[in-house]
Structure 1
C-alpha cells in the first residue's frame, strides 16, 4: 500500500492545485490541513493500525477545519475526487478481480471512516458557536415586550436542548418532536393563535415543519452514529432555525409599531430591530458559507432641504425616499431607518457586486426623477456605502466597513456607490 499512499498524496495535492481558485482564501490553512489529512490517510491504509488511535486525530482535524473556517465539504470533495482515481490506478496494478474489488472496498470504507470522525470534530465546534448564538438571541429577546416573545424564547430553548442531545450523542430525544407535538406548532395552525398576519403565518408554519422534520433526521443519524450525515443535516437544521428566527423577528417588527420596531415616520424597520435581524442573518451566512451584504445610505444635502423648506418638507422627503428605495429592493431584503437621514439595507444571500448593482439602479432612478413635497419639487440624490461578509468576523465590523465606504462616496462627489 506504500506506493498507493504516495499516489493518493500526489492526487490530493493535484486536486487542491487544480481547484486552488475556490480555496485560495485559505491557502496557508489548507496546506497544513492537507499534510495532516494525508498523514491520516496513510495510517488508515496500512491496515494493521488500531482504528481507535486514528479517531482522536481525525476528531482534532475536524475541529481545526471549523476553527480555520474551512468547509467540511473540502474533505468530501477530496474523497469524491480520489476514489475514481484510485480505482483507475488499482485496475492497472491488480489483475485479479477479487483482489481489486477487495482493495477498492477496503479503501472506500476507510475513507468513510475518516469522513465520519472528522465530521464529529467539526460538529462539536459548530455546536459551541451555535450555543453562543442562542444565548445572544435570548439576551436580545429579554428586552422585548412582544406577545410573540415567549414562543420564540421557548423554541430557542427547545433548539438548545437538541444541541445538548447532539453534543452528548443522545439519540433518544429529550424534547417533543413533530410540528403538531410542539406548542408553537399547534398554535400556529390556528388562524388567531398568535395573531400573525396570514402572509407571514404560512411561511412560518412551513419553516417550523421543516425544522421538526430535520430534527427527526438528526436523531436518526445520532442513533446510527453516522456523523457525516448528522453534520450535514445539522447544518441544514440550523440554517432553517436562523431563517425561522429572522422571519419571526420581522413579524415582531411589522405587527408591533408600539414596540418601536417600525419607524413611525418612514414606516420602514427601525434601528431597534436591526440587531436582532442582522445578527440572525449574519450567523446563517457564516454557517452556510453563503454571501451577505449591507448598504449604508445617506440622503445628499438633506440639511439644506430642512433649512430652506422646513422640517415638514424634510419629513416628506424622508418618507418618499424610503418608499422609493423599499419598492426597488428584493422581497428578501430589509431596510431600516438608521438615524436622521440615514438608512441601512440588509441583502441576505447577495454578494457585494449584487448589492452594488441594486443600489446603482436605485441611484439612477432617483437621479432621473423629482420628489414633490408641497412647494418643494426637486431631484434628491443619495450616497451609498456597501460592504459584505467576506473576511468580516462580526456585524460591527460589517457596519463599520459600510460606513467607511459611505464616507468615500460622500467625499468623492455624492450621488454614487462606494464599496
Structure 2
C-alpha cells in the first residue's frame, strides 16, 4: 500500500470536512481554530503506518483531550466516521489500490475509534466516580426506608465502574446474585410502602434495562470493543441517575403531601404545586412515560355564593373535593388552584385516558345533588380542559396553559363539558 498517497487523502479529507462543518453540529466553534484542525488532520494522516500500540497511545490521548474540552463523545465519533467514509470513497476510485489496502484503511479507522473511545471512557469514569461516592455518602441522609434500595444500587454501580476501569471480566456469581436480589422490587417493603404501583413498575423497567446493559458492558470488555463499551457505560450512568431520581423525587413528593394542604378542601395547595409539577414533568421526560394535566372549574359557582352564601359555597367545595379524591387514583395529584378552580396532575396517563376519566367524573357529578344544610340541594357541573406531555412542550407551564385554554373554551361554548 502506498502510505504517502493514503496519508495525503486522509489529510485533505479531514481539512475539507472541518471546513464544511457548520456550527449547529456542536463542533463548529471549537474547530474554527485552524491550529486544532491542522493538528487533528496531521495526527490522523501521519499515524496510519505507526505500530498498533503507538496508534492506541496517540488516539487515547486525543480522546482524553477532547473530553476535557467538552466535545461530546458521539459527535466526535461521528466526525471520525464521516472522515473515514469520505476517505474510503476517494481511495476506492484509485485503481492502484486493491481491496486488501482499503481493508487496512478501514481497520486503521476502527483502531482510531476504539482508542479515542477508551480515552473518553477513562476520563468519564474518573469524573463519575466522584459523583457516585458523593451519592453513596448522601444516601446516609436520605429517608431511612429508602436507604437500602439506593445503597445497594450505588454499591453495584461502583463495582461495575471498577470493572470497566480495570477491564475485568464479569463476575457471573455477583451479577446473577444482584439480578436476583432486585427481581421482585415491588415486594420490597422499603420501596412498596413509599411508591405507587405505577412508580414501582417504572423503576422495575429501569432495573431491567440496567441488567441488560450490564451484560453488554462485560461483553464489550471481553472483546475490547471500547466504542461499544463507552456507549454502554454512558447509558449505564444515565439509567442509574434516572433510577435515583425516580426514587428520591417521588419520596420527596409524597412527603410534601402531608404538609402543604389546603385547609378548606383537604387538597394540595399552590405551595406544593410548583415542586410536584416540575418533578413529575422531569420524571416523565426521563422515562418517556405519559403525563396529563387537567384544568377544571366549577360552573356558575358565583351564583351559588350569591344565592346561598359563602358557607354553602364552602360546603360545595368540600364535597366536590371529596368526590375528586374518591373517584381519582391515589397516584394522581389534586390541587386547589384557586377559588373554585382545580388542577389535576395525572402521571403515567395518556390524554385519551385522562379524558375518559374526567368525562366519567362529570357524568357522575352532574347526576347527583350536593346537600349543604336543610332543603339546600345543589346540582353541580364543571368545565375542564386536558393536555398531555409531548415534544412540542418545552415546560410544564406550556401544558398548563394549553389545558387552561381548553377549559376556557369549554366555559365559553356551553359549560358542563370536557375539552381534550
Q: Shorter-chain TM-score: which interval?
A: 0.5 to 0.7
Distance, in Å, in 1 between the alignment partners of 2:59 and 2:201 is: 48
Listed as ranges, the matches of 1:4-403 within 5 Å are 4-11=10-17, 27=24, 29-34=26-31, 39-47=39-47, 51=55, 52-65=57-70, 70=72, 72-97=73-98, 98-121=100-123, 125=127, 134=135, 138=139, 142=142, 144=143, 147=145, 149-159=146-156, 161-162=158-159, 165=162, 169=166, 171=168, 177-181=174-178, 184-185=181-182, 188=184, 196=192, 207-208=206-207, 210-218=209-217, 221=220, 226-242=225-241, 244-245=243-244, 260=258, 279=279, 282=282, 285=285, 298-300=295-297, 304=302, 307=310, 309-318=312-321, 320=323, 335-338=332-335, 342-343=342-343, 345=345, 365=359, 371-372=365-366, 374=370, 375-382=377-384, 398=395
Task: Select between 28-37 and 104-113 the one with higher mean Cα deviation.
Answer: 28-37
Q: Secondary structure at the match of 2:168?
A: coil
Structure 1: unaligned runs, 5 residues or longer: 18-25, 328-333, 393-397
Q: Give the gaps of 5 or more residues in structure 2.
A: 1-6, 371-376, 413-417
SS at match of 2:92: helix
Q: Is the 8 A contact 2:185 2:191 kept in 1?
A: no
CA offset at residue 232 of structure 1?
1.9
Supply the distance in 2 between the matched residues of 1:412 and 1:258 (Cα, whole angstroms): 30
TM-score by length of 1: 0.60
TM-score (normalizing by structure 2): 0.60
Greater Cα radius of gyration, structure 1 or 2: 2
Q: Displacement of 1:227 after TM fit?
A: 3.8
Structure 1 match to 2:9: 3
What is the rounded CA distance, in whole Å, between the counterparts of 2:190 and 2:231 in structure 1?
32
User: Aligned-residue CA RMSD in angstroms?
Assistant: 5.9
Cα distance in structure 2, aligned partners of 1:262 and 1:222: 50
Relative to structure 1, is the Cα distance of residues 415 and 258 closer, same or farther in structure 2, using a 3 angstrom cutoff? same
1:191 and 1:323 map into 2 onto residues whose CA distance is 26
